[in-house]
């Protein structure tokens, strides 16, 4: 009875693999399809082995044993053929025509195996066979294994990225050679069912199952997005800084001209130029704010709301507050998701206040409430626009609103509990819930307010990929946060690579002010690595400003060309954690990271 032990172990492995593979959603590609067929054939192969052994030991009819043995070895031929086909697929050595021809050839060989003569050996400790059928099956198997060996070497040489997928086949070749030795010296041991099942088990951990594939895709996607966003951020800051400078000069020249003794026409024209320069300056700031928005700034509130019902309700509620003769419009984009997760109460307060403000100062024309959306993965960027043809605001008032970034005062927080909000509170409220606001206003022509706000999309049937993406995002969010402050692209890339390898959440910025803004917004920053000499706020001034921020508890490292003891001691006295030169290594960074 000991000849049945290995086949039993083989069928246990086969059943386990069938359960693991078919109990979850799988990646739909050629490799997975072949592997699925291999699992099914291997299961039949194992079942036949058990049936033949039990039948031979208890009944022993050689004719029926011969028929079953021929089916059994034909299954072995099919299984080895599928393994060869899998190898050819990952080696990219097959096409549709070749696949059809090889399938037909293998089918013919299997038929020949079944219809040819088989002589049965059935002794107390030996169950085997010989004859034409046996010779065809073993000969075909040896030829297939020769091709498996050749393609395995080809993959090791030409397709190094697929080596891990070919490891099970290398194991199979070794086991096959071992199996031939066992058959020759210990013919009573039925070894083949176990080693095929064992190879299937090893393949399961290299086949492109959904868990491995999705995590690889997420990692690559995250790395690519981080790289693109960092480059985009650097480009945007350089462009906007280039634009800001001439705009600031225009404003200064305009202010100077207005102080001179000039006639009214020149004064009015100069005032118009100054107002337009302010408008252009705010537009540039708005572009920068929207481009630098990040889904990590989302303030998730555990409530869901219907987007169209929310804004439709605002429209119906405020329609009566609009003056007679003013056209009040509501336009909702078709791209809006049905439900979002966020703070619908605050969004409604913001929109109510802005619409009522427009209604108050608009006597004729229109008030338009437009809601659009940009959807990416499970995040929706709401773009809410309130536009009117009212009296408009002074440019000084617009500039004041856009420059205010401080938190709500205690008195303003109390007002949030009621409906008596003003546009100053709305501006801070948008900022507080992670949004951006842009205001364009011209006296006697009207005002246009645009709010950009990220919200999570609610999905009752969220698929496995999105769920894993969300979990992955949470893990990324919980990583230690590091900012690199540098104007040198090469320095940024070198340092970012070191820090990313240490499993940190890394951002590189051009201006120290960007880091200060993040700290003042309440973001937890664990480490800042800054160059000493920067064109705007240098390393020492940045440290001075960070010392004044009570919410900052991270460490700051200064990178400097000079490494004399006096400079280092001065920097440490200022509050820097370490001073490094530009030749610092990954070990230097690792030592610092261990302390944060």
Stretch 448-472: mean pLDDT, rounded? 69
Structure-token match 């400003």, residue found: 545
Lowest-pLDDT choice from 31-45, 215-229, 233-247, 389-403: 215-229
**pLDDT, position 78:** 93
Distance, CA of 589 to CA of 199 (rounded, Å): 43
User: Global pTM?
Assistant: 0.40
Determine how β-strand 446-457 pairs with β-strand 436-442: antiparallel
- Tell me the C-alpha distance between 413 and 425, whole Å: 9
How many angstroms separate the CA atoms of 320 and 322, rounded? 6
Q: What is the pLDDT of residue 297?
A: 38
Q: What's the pLDDT score for residue 155?
A: 72
Among 156-165, 198-207, 248-257, 365-374, the range with the most confident prediction by mean pLDDT is 365-374
pLDDT tens profile 128-176: 778 899 899 889 988 988 888 888 777 777 655 455 555 666 676 676 6
Domain-wise residue ranges, the chain: 2-208, 295-460, 479-593
Average pLDDT for the chain: 79
Distance CA 538, CA 531 (A): 7
The pLDDT value recorded for residue 388 is 94
As a whole number of angstroms, the distance between CA 233 and CA 245 comes to 18
Is pLDDT at 118 greater than 60 in this prediction? yes
Q: Could you tell me how many helices (H) and strands (E) the chain has, helices first?
A: 20, 14
- Asked whether the predicted pLDDT for residue 369 surpasses 90, the reply is yes
Q: 512 by DSSP, 3-state: which?
A: helix
Q: Which two tokens stand for residue 339?
A: 């439900």
Q: Taking the CA atoms of 195, 198, 202 and 205 in sequence, report the sign of the dihedral they define.
A: positive
What is the 3 state secondary structure string of 370-381?
EEEEEEECCEEE
Predicted confidence (pLDDT) per residue in 563-589, tens digit: 788 888 888 999 999 999 888 888 888
The arithmetic mean of pLDDT across residues 169-195, rounded, is 68
What pLDDT is recorded for position 188? Answer: 61
Q: Tell me what pLDDT residue 474 has.
A: 53
367 pLDDT above the threshold of 90: yes
521: part of which helix (H) or strand (E)?
none
pLDDT confidence of residue 322 = 92
Instruction: Give the contacts of 134 (CB within 8 A, at least 6 positions apart).
Output: 73, 118, 119
- Rg over alpha carbons for the chain, rounded to the nearest Å, is 36
Eight-state DSSP code of residue 416: T
What's the pLDDT tens digit per position in 371-380?
999 887 778 8
527 contacts: CB under 8 Å, gap ≥ 6: 480, 481, 482, 483, 504, 554, 555, 556, 557, 592, 593, 596
Question: Quick check: do 295-460 and 479-593 share a fold?
Answer: no
pLDDT of residue 413: 57
The pLDDT value recorded for residue 287 is 54
Q: What average pLDDT does range 320-337 have in this prediction?
A: 91
pLDDT band at 365 (very low <50, low <70, confident <90, very high): very high
Is the pLDDT reported for residue 202 higher than 80?
A: no
Enter the DSSP assignment of 296: G
Q: Show the 3-state SS of 198-236.
A: HHHHHHHCCCCCHHHHHHHHHHHHHHHHHHHHHHHHHHH
pLDDT for residue 360 is more than 70: yes
Share of the chain above pLDDT 70, in %: 75
Which pLDDT score is estimated for 172?
Answer: 66
Q: pLDDT tens, 418-445?
A: 555 777 788 888 877 888 888 888 888 8
Averaged pLDDT, 471-489: 74
**HEC per residue, 543-595:** HHHHHCCCCCCCEEEEECCCCCHHHHHHHHHHCCCEEECCCCCHHHHHHHHCC
The CATH class of the 479-593 domain is: alpha beta
For 309-320, the pLDDT digits (tens) are: 899 989 998 998
Cα dihedral: 407, 473, 577, 519 (round 10): -10
Q: What is the pLDDT of residues 40-95, one digit of tens each?
A: 999 999 899 888 888 888 888 888 888 898 999 899 899 989 988 888 887 777 77
> What is the pLDDT confidence band of residue 328, given thresholds at 50, 70 and 90?
very high
Angstrom distance (rounded) from CA 191 to CA 391? 90
Residue 132 confidence (pLDDT): 92
| Predicted local confidence at residue 296, as pLDDT | 38
Mean pLDDT throughout 404-428? 65
CATH fold group of domain 2-208? Rhopdopsin 7-helix transmembrane proteins (1.20.1070)
Find tokens 């041991």 and name the residue: 189
Residues 31-43, mean pLDDT to the nearest whole number? 88
Domain 295-460 has CATH 3.30.565.10: yes
Q: With a cut of 90, say whether residue 329 has pLDDT above it.
A: yes
Note every long-range contact of 587-596, with CB atoms under 8 Å and residues 24 or more positions apart, other chains counting: 589/495, 589/498, 589/499, 589/502, 590/502, 592/527, 592/555, 592/557, 593/480, 593/499, 593/502, 593/504, 593/527, 595/555, 596/480, 596/526, 596/527, 596/554, 596/555
User: pLDDT: is 363 or 33 the higher one?
Assistant: 363
Higher pLDDT, 536 or 186: 536
Q: Which of 55, 369, 17 is nearest to 196 (CA)?
A: 17
Give burial (CB, 10 Å; 0-12/13-18/19+) of 63: exposed
Task: Provide the 8-state DSSP code for 319.
Answer: G
Has residue 211 got a pLDDT over 60?
A: no
Is residue 412 predicted with pLDDT exceeding 60?
yes
């Amino acid at each position: 009875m000991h000849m049945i032990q290995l086949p039993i172990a083989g069928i246990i492995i086969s059943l386990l693999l069938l359960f693991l593979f078919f109990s979850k959603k799988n990646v739909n590609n050629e490799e997975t399809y072949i592997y699925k067929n291999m699992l099914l054939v291997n299961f039949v192969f194992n079942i036949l082995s058990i049936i033949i052994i039990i039948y031979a030991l208890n009944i022993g009819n050689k004719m029926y044993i011969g028929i079953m043995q021929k089916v059994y070895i034909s299954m072995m031929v099919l299984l080895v053929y599928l393994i060869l086909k899998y190898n050819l697929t990952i080696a990219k050595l097959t096409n549709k025509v070749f696949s059809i021809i090889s399938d037909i050839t293998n089918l013919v060989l299997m038929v020949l195996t079944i219809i040819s003569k088989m002589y049965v050996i059935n002794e107390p400790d030996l169950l085997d066979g010989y004859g034409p059928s046996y010779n065809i099956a073993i000969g075909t198997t040896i030829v297939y294994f020769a091709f498996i060996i050749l393609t395995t070497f080809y993959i090791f040489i030409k397709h190094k990225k697929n080596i891990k997928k070919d490891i099970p086949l290398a194991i199979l070749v070794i086991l096959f050679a071992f199996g031939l030795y066992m058959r020759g010296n210990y013919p009573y041991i039925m070894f083949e069912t176990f080693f095929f099942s064992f190879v299937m088990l090893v393949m399961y951990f290299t086949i492109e199952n959904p868990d491995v594939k999705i995590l690889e895709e997420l990692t690559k996607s995250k790395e690519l997005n981080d790289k693109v966003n960092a480059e985009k951020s650097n480009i945007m800051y350089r462009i906007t800084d280039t634009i800001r400078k001439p705009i600031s000069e225009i404003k200064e020249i305009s202010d100077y001209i207005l102080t001179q003794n000039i006639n009214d026409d020149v004064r009015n024209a100069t005032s118009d130029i100054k107002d337009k320069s302010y408008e252009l300056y705010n537009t540039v700031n708005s572009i920068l704010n929207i481009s630098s928005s990040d889904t990590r700034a989302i303030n998730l509130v555990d409530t869901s709301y219907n987007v169209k019902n929310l804004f439709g309700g605002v429209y119906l509620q405020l329609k009566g507050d609009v003056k007679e003769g003013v056209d009040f419009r509501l336009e909702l984009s078709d791209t809006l998701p049905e439900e979002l997760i966020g703070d619908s109460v605050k969004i409604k307060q913001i929109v109510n206040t802005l619409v009522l403000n427009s209604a108050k100062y608009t006597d004729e024309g229109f008030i338009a409430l437009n809601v659009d959306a940009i959807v990416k993965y499970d995040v929706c960027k709401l773009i809410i626009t309130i536009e009117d043809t009212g009296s408009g605001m002074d440019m000084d008032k617009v500039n004041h609103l856009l420059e205010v970034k401080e938190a709500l005062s205690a008195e303003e927080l109390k007002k949030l509990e009621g409906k008596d909000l003003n546009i100053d509170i709305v501006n801070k409220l948008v900022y507080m819930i992670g949004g951006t606001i842009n205001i364009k206003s011209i006296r006697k022509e009207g005002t246009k307010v645009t709010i950009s706000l990220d919200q999570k999309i609610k999905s009752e049937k969220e698929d496995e990929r999105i769920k894993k993406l969300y979990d992955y995002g949470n893990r990324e969010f919980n990583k230690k946060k590091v900012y690199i402050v540098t104007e040198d692209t090469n320095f940024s890339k070198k340092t970012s690579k070191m820090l990313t390898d240490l499993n940190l959440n890394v951002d590189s910025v051009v201006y120290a002010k960007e880091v200060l803004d993040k700290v003042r917004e309440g973001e937890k920053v664990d480490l800042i690595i800054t160059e000493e000499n920067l064109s705007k706020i240098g390393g020492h001034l940045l440290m001075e400003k960070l010392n004044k921020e009570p919410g900052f508890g991270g460490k700051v490292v200064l990178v400097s060309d000079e490494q004399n003891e006096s400079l280092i001691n001065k920097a440490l006295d200022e509050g820097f954690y370490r001073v490094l030169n530009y030749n610092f290594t990954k070990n230097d960074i690792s030592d610092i990271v261990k302390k944060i």
